[in-house]
Structure 1
Amino acid sequence: MNAAPVLAAYTALVGIAAPHLLLRSGWPHRAPALAAVVWHALTVSFAIGAALTVYNLAMPTEHLHAGLVGFLHACGLHLDGGPPDPDATHRLAVALPAAIGTALAASFAFHVVRARRARGRHRQALDLVGRRSARLCATVLPYDTPAAYCLPGRHPRIVVSDAAVRRLTPDQLGAVLEHERAHVAGRHHLALAAMEAFHSVFRRLPLARHAREQTALLLEMIADDRALRSHSRDALATAMYEMVAARVPKGAFAVGGHAALIRVQRILGPCQAPHPALWSSVAAAAVAVPLLPLLVACPPGLG
């Protein structure tokens, strides 16, 4: 039996229904790192499901379990040393899903390179107008509004305005700098670039839109939690309030931003970690979800 109808239904479920269920859940903001992993797992699962759906539609008479060898043959890999498969249908069945993977990889590379170039241009401007502070381990920028952001990548740079240095207390400024260090250490720009790439390829898909928006918010929450390990909640919340109106360059992570109100409410609200059973279940689901399309296309026991 061909698995295309089941795969198509599963892919639609992941791409349309799953994002709304996740948005209605209350646990993601209590475990932002785990929630970010779940969003990435859903995008990977959708991409695999879409590729396998296209493959099964192009090969309606074969089951993937038997077709995996043909899949490898069409790619030029011959496990039995036999001659290449000349079947044009087989090659088309491989080319279509391969195009999905190629588009995602190319989009990811494009967003990474574009952001890197933008950050590079901004670093050059910082070298001209900013001054390096050894005490803060940051670049101080002459700007009359409290602001702080980081430029991640190979040559990371944390930037803080001189207005922030003047107006914020030492604890508030320390919380801000720790927040930015968390972005740099976690390589959050790569996680965000992956979501940007997925959104570029599947622009009209609800999963693509929500995954990009939620990942950006969750990464900020992850950095908030890192800052709260060594600084008070009041200090970080007050600093965010002071910086909510600050503008930052493209490709940078900032303490403020349009989601600052949600984050302040989370920081000052009751802190309750998810139950270990829930955490374990969601973590197991995040690992299993990308594998489900393979199990649907190739159920165990079929030869």
Structure 2
Amino acid sequence: MTVGAVLLAYALALGVGGGSLCRRSGWLERAPRLGVALLLSVAWSVPVALFLAGLTIAVPHTALSSGVSELLGACIVRIRSAYSTPGGTVVAVAGLCLSAVIVVRVSWVAAQVVQLRRTERRTQQTLIAVAGRRTPAWPAVIVDEVRPAAYSLAGPPSTVVLTSGLLAALTRAQVAAVIAHERAHVRCRHHRLLASAAVVVGTLPGLPLMGELRSVVRRLIEMQADDVAARTHAPETIATALFTVATGQPPGSVPITPTSALAAGDSDAVARVRRLLLPPATFSRRVRGAVRAGIAAAVLVPVLTAFAPAAVAANQPPVVTSQAAAPAPPG
């Protein structure tokens, strides 16, 4: 089997089989930061593998093969043998087209995501300038709105936005916990992680792996922000604030207990409340090491698969062809 075929099979296996990683991502909630890194590395491994597959398929039938052999100091015969693909020029052109499509698709989707986020940020900045107000009581911008809500805008300068409804519904301790949660989003650069997920999903939207990736990444980063806020605020305070914001009900109207949280339904907010009130066991050192190994494998496997044959060929003795071995004609 050729290197290109191996990379195509690898991308297909991850793109299809990786969907179960998102559907069964509950265990990643025990370490949200590692979970996000694992999901994004696996997701981005697919377009990288497809791009490299196209290049390796085209190598033996293009001028690129001569350049690679000279760069590595290996015989052109060995390079072509390592990357040989049946089909000739037609397959080589198809490989180049595949690589070009991946590059164009990623670039186009990335430009769309950047433009959309810039537009959203300008809209929010305009709203803050027109309707927002600052108060010495809180390091945030207050917007008059009955519905309790809070969000953050990445900088510079970064801004935490609270609605007047949230200030009316929450206690001071709960408001402080909400602000700590939103600051954690900015400090951990969660907006970049969400943008990365949006780009890879938009690049290959039809794959099962991409179906739930954005929602799972969003849930995990919210849980990571909860964990950061819980370092300085009581988990019960964060949970009650979260329940109030999610349901729009004032504190005390519904008792916040593990039983009521479980009965409220299977939403992201409920999962976060349940996790705050009933913290799951953290990963052991062995499990953390296994997850980190999975992240490294997702990053390195496509690259090593693509270039290992060329590296091996570079360290082999030159192949002497029959033409090279023939004696020179007498002068």
Same fold per superposition (TM over 0.5): yes
- The one of 66, 70, 73 equivalent to 2:64 is 70
Residues 1:269 and 2:263 are matched in the alignment? no
Identical positions, percent? 30
Q: State the 1:233 CA deviation.
A: 1.2
Q: 1:71 to 1:243 in 2, by over 3 A?
A: farther
- The one of 237, 240, 257 equivalent to 1:238 is 240
- The one of 170, 175, 178 equivalent to 1:176 is 178
Q: State the 1:194 CA deviation.
A: 1.1
The 5 Å alignment of 1:52-91 reads: 52-59=52-59, 70=64, 73=67, 79=71
Q: 1:94 to 1:73 in 2, by over 3 A?
A: farther
Q: 1:104 to 1:165 in 2, by over 3 A?
A: same
CA distance in 1, matches of 2:56, 2:276: 48
Q: State the 1:119 CA deviation.
A: 1.6
Q: State the 1:286 CA deviation.
A: 0.3
Residues 1:141 and 2:143 are matched in the alignment? yes
- The one of 261, 269, 273 equivalent to 1:260 is 269
Give 2:64's aligned amino acid: G
Question: What is the count of residue pairs matched by the alignment?
Answer: 277
| 1:242-294 per-position Cα deviation (integer Å, ceiling 9, x unaligned) | 11146xxxxxxxxxxx6211111111113311011100121122022121122
| 1:133-191 per-position Cα deviation (integer Å, ceiling 9, x unaligned) | 23311011111122111122333221111122122112111110001001111221111
| Larger displacement relative to structure 2 (1-10 or 25-34) | 1-10
The 5 Å alignment of 1:200-219 reads: 200-219=202-221
More helix, by proportion:
2
Q: Helix, strand or coil: the match of 1:229?
A: coil
Q: 1:25 to 1:147 in 2, by over 3 A?
A: closer
CA distance in 2, matches of 1:191, 1:109: 16
| 1:6-31 per-position Cα deviation (integer Å, ceiling 9, x unaligned) | 22221111111123045425430000
Q: 1:91 to 1:10 in 2, by over 3 A?
A: closer
Residues 1:131 and 2:140 are matched in the alignment? no
CA distance in 2, matches of 1:142, 1:219: 27
**Alpha-carbon contact 2:54-2:94 (below 8 Å) kept:** no
Q: 1:71 to 1:215 in 2, by over 3 A?
A: farther
| Unaligned ranges ≥5, structure 2 | 73-88, 249-266, 314-331
Give 1:43's aligned amino acid: A
Please name the residue that 2:262 is paired with: none
Q: 1:182 to 1:198 in 2, by over 3 A?
A: same
Q: Helix, strand or coil: the match of 1:230?
A: coil
The 5 Å alignment of 1:1-303 reads: 2-21=2-21, 23-24=23-24, 26-59=26-59, 70=64, 73=67, 79=71, 93-94=95-96, 96-245=98-247, 259-299=268-308, 302-303=312-313
**Alpha-carbon contact 1:112-1:190 (below 8 Å) kept:** no
Q: State the 1:95 CA deviation.
A: 5.2
RMSD: 2.7
